[in-house]
Amino acid sequence: METTTQDSRLQDIVKQAQQEVAKAVVGQEYMINRLLIGLFTNGHILLEGVPGLAKTLTINTLGKVLHLNFRRIQFTPDLLPADVIGTMIYNQKSGEFEVKKGPIFANLILADEVNRAPAKVQSALLEAMQEKQVTIGETTYSLDKPFLVLATQNPVDQEGTYPLPEAQVDRFMLKIHVDYPDKASELEIMRRMSNMSFDADIQPLLSKEDIFSIRREVNAVTMTESLEKYIIELVFATRKPAEYGLKEEAGYIQFGASPRASINLNLASKAHAYLNGRDFVLPEDIKAIAHDVLNHRIILNFEAQADGITTAQIIQTLIKQIKIG
């Protein structure tokens, strides 16, 4: 349902942007939708999935659709913090040290296989994500706006990886589990990629001004007080599940979601509503985005692992159990 309070030109550009990305990426509409939610709410996103699911291709294509400075950083075990944020170098001609800025100085960062870099490098990236600034030598530099980190990680390989600590993963607005495509999508992927002359002509559409305008419209999306309280109840149920009649789940949850979960559920729900052409949030928006906001913020104990219980199952139970007041 379209609304008259939103700029129809911006709505059209968003739809065109989705179509442009789909020129190169088949069958990942869910991932594309979540990347746009992050872009329009200033939220960083972590994509997790096995190799070959077009995680990197999707982010690369999105970078082409946007009129933004895009950089890709391939994370490896030998990467240093200076390789990400930059460092001081000595200029022999002038006899002085000069700042050489790293690839973090861009609008859109693809942190590819972020779990392959050691903790110091991950910390440097995550500090920039949180503070929106970088300190090199004695000088602090603000990062250009918009600034968005889209990170990928491979859950299959364990050797030579450095898993992100839960407290740092919390800084990502959404954690998206990228799944295999269906048969029809994979057939189309096979046909495209086996055609060596195939070349998706991606047109840049969204400018910085457009993105900031869309963010203002997303911010103006309304949410009733009952839905705001519903978000709070969902988050509190992850912390004290027994008080919500979830005695079995209480035996599996070690730590519940942080206050960032409440903030991001609110923002992401508004963006989800906006992408569906509405200027108001429905309960379905919150339920649709809840898994991606909560799945990396609920920490399960060893009993859950032993019983084969996943965070997805816990979240689904919360959604069924918690009622809107």
- Regarding whether 232 and 200 lie in a shared domain, the answer is no
Which tokens is 1 given? 């349902």
Name the domain boundary from 177, 211, 245.
211
The SS3 call for residue 194 is coil
- What pLDDT was estimated at residue 2? 46
For residue 3, what pLDDT band results from cuts at 50, 70 and 90?
very low
- Regarding whether 137 and 256 lie in a shared domain, the answer is no
Mutual angle of helices 283-294 and 225-239, in 10-degree steps: 30
**Number of structural domains the chain divides into:** 2
Which phi-psi region, left, alpha or beta, contains residue 260 (left: φ > 0; alpha: ψ -120 to 50)?
A: alpha
Which phi-psi region, left, alpha or beta, contains residue 90 (left: φ > 0; alpha: ψ -120 to 50)?
A: beta
pLDDT at 1 over 50: no
- Regarding whether 248 and 102 lie in a shared domain, the answer is no
- What pLDDT was estimated at residue 316? 94
For residue 232, what pLDDT band results from cuts at 50, 70 and 90?
very high
- Regarding whether 260 and 233 lie in a shared domain, the answer is yes
Percentage of the residues of the chain whose pLDDT score is greater than 90: 49
- Which one is predicted more confidently, 273 or 24? 273
- What pLDDT was estimated at residue 157? 63
- What pLDDT was estimated at residue 5? 66
Mean pLDDT of 40-48: 93
Which letter, b or e, does each residue of 220-258 get, where b requires 16 or more Cβ atoms within 10 Å of its Cβ? ebebeeebbebbebbbbbbeebeebebeebeebbeebbb
For residue 23, what pLDDT band results from cuts at 50, 70 and 90?
confident
Give the CATH number for residue 128: 3.40.50.300
- Regarding whether 13 and 148 lie in a shared domain, the answer is yes
- Regarding whether 162 and 19 lie in a shared domain, the answer is yes
Strands (DSSP E) found in 41-80: 45-48, 70-74
- Regarding whether 317 and 264 lie in a shared domain, the answer is yes
Gap between the Cα atoms of 155 and 169, Å rounded = 14
Q: Can you give the pTM of this predicted structure? A: 0.89
Distances 190 to 23, 26, 28, 183, 222 between C-alpha atoms, Å: 14, 10, 15, 10, 43
Give the CATH number for residue 289: 1.10.8.80
Contact 283, 233 (CB under 8 A): no
- Regarding whether 243 and 109 lie in a shared domain, the answer is no
Give the residue numbers spanning the domain of 205: 8-211
Name the domain boundary from 149, 181, 211.
211
127 CB-side CA count, 13 A? 16
- Has residue 34 been placed in a domain? yes
172-228, pLDDT tens digit by residue?
Answer: 999 999 888 889 988 988 888 888 777 778 888 888 999 999 999 999 999 999 999
For residue 160, what pLDDT band results from cuts at 50, 70 and 90?
low
pLDDT at 46 over 70: yes
Residue 88: beta bridge partners? 99
15-29, 205-219, 222-236, 249-263: the lowest-pLDDT one: 15-29
pLDDT at 48 over 50: yes
Gap between the Cα atoms of 120 and 286, Å rounded = 35
- For 199, counting Cβ atoms within 10 Å of its Cβ (0-12 exposed, 13-18 middle, 19+ buried), the class is exposed
- Regarding whether 292 and 154 lie in a shared domain, the answer is no
- Regarding whether 190 and 316 lie in a shared domain, the answer is no
Place of tokens 């110091």: 120
84-101, pLDDT tens digit by residue?
Answer: 999 888 888 888 888 889
Place of tokens 């019983």: 307
- Has residue 3 been placed in a domain? no
Contact 57, 24 (CB under 8 A): yes
Mean pLDDT of 136-153: 89
Q: Averaging pLDDT over each range in 2-6, 150-154, 178-182, 275-279, which range is the top one?
A: 275-279
